Amino acid sequence: MKTKKYKICDYNHNPDMYYYVNEDSKTPQDGWVTSMPFNEKVKGKPTPIKFFSTKPEAKEYLDVIKKHRNNDWDKNWLYYKLNGYKKPAWKIYTENED
């Protein structure tokens, strides 16, 4: 039986990169995120994605991340727009585990 696991990512904000909640986050308030280029060519080994076993647990993290990232957007939206960024769109994504 395949089990589901959940991750939180933003594929919208930066035209060249995506962001995800990483394993260093121990509580929703930590909110450690990693940015990765879409082409995946990175020196060294990036911090792994944090996977959640339940959607409610992922939602706790999502709510905190969205609040902080949207507050930052509200303060700096003009700078972001002028540099080709879009409003952050953090979402929960489901992956099936074999």
Q: Which residues pair with 35 in a beta bridge?
A: 19
The pLDDT assigned to 64 comes to 95
| Token pair listed for 65 | 């991340």
* pLDDT tens column, 16-75: 899 999 999 888 888 788 888 887 676 778 889 999 999 999 999 999 999 999 999 999
Residues in Cβ contact with 91 at an 8 Å cutoff, skipping those fewer than 6 apart: 8, 9, 10, 62
Q: What's the pLDDT at 97?
A: 75
How many C-beta atoms surround the C-beta of residue 12 within 10 A?
A: 15
